[in-house]
Amino acid sequence: MSVKISPSVLTADFLTLKDDIKRLEGAGTDMLHLDVMDGIFVPNISFGVPVIKSIKKHTSLPLDVHLMIDRPHRYIKQFAEVADYLGFHYEAGSDVAETLKEIRNLGCKACLTIKPCTAPQEIFEYLPLCDMVLVMSVEPGFGGQKFMPQALEKLSVLRKEITKRRLDILLEVDGGINAETAPLAVNAGADVLVAGNYIFSAENMKATVEAIKKL
């Protein structure tokens, strides 16, 4: 399976987001990563359902919605209406199994996310309910942080467990992805790379995406 690129729009200029999305489509990205932050689970606030609904009107790319919110089970139905992949944090205070089941029952791909402080073994029991697992390689809440090398071991452990169980699960990594860290993450088992600053700050977005996919 070739690596997938899911650019985070968190670092985009929202006044020109429609144009940037068209550029991303032309650059060959595979999905869009949308970080939803509530100022409670993480110390930052981003956007919610109305913004994602607007984005959905202007792209055919799958929407990879990453909920960084407290007790996400309260809002699953609303976000499931606008997401293709819907993910939430293991640490966010919801019944993990029930929330994953609800996401699938509502027609979305279910994604479970872990913070840098969480051991991958803690989510092994939930893997059969997941379509994707997201490993944070930075502390969630802000873009532009440096990649945490310990994420590589987590990716490797999860990839081995997924393979051992013969599960069809994408393994995603988010935080500090660039030309140096992308190949490390892929070698450790990642299928999907979330990149924000590295892609949006590039002079040639298409060349940058193609270069990451070739690494």
C-alpha distance from residue 210 to each of 27, 60, 179, 203 (Å): 8, 20, 11, 13
Rg (Cα) of the chain, in Å, rounded? Answer: 16
Q: Is residue 30 flagged as an active site residue?
A: no
Produce one character per residue of 145-154: b if its CB has 16 or more CB atoms within 10 Å, e if not. eebbeebbeb
Q: Is residue 191 flagged as an active site residue?
A: no
Q: Are 129 and 114 in contact (CB under 8 A)?
A: no
Pick the catalytic residue from 20, 30, 131, 174.
Answer: 174
Pick the catalytic residue from 35, 38, 131, 191.
Answer: 35
Token pair for 184: 């490390």
Q: What is the C-alpha to C-alpha distance for residues 57 and 120, in angstroms, rounded to an integer?
A: 36
Q: What is the C-alpha to C-alpha distance for residues 9 and 15, in angstroms, rounded to an integer?
A: 12
26 sits in which H/E element: helix 17-27
Q: What is the C-alpha to C-alpha distance for residues 142 and 137, in angstroms, rounded to an integer?
A: 12
- Phi–psi pair at 16, nearest 5 degrees: -120, 25
**Checking DSSP bridges between strand 170-174 and strand 132-136, what pairing results, if any?**
parallel
Catalytic residues: 35, 174
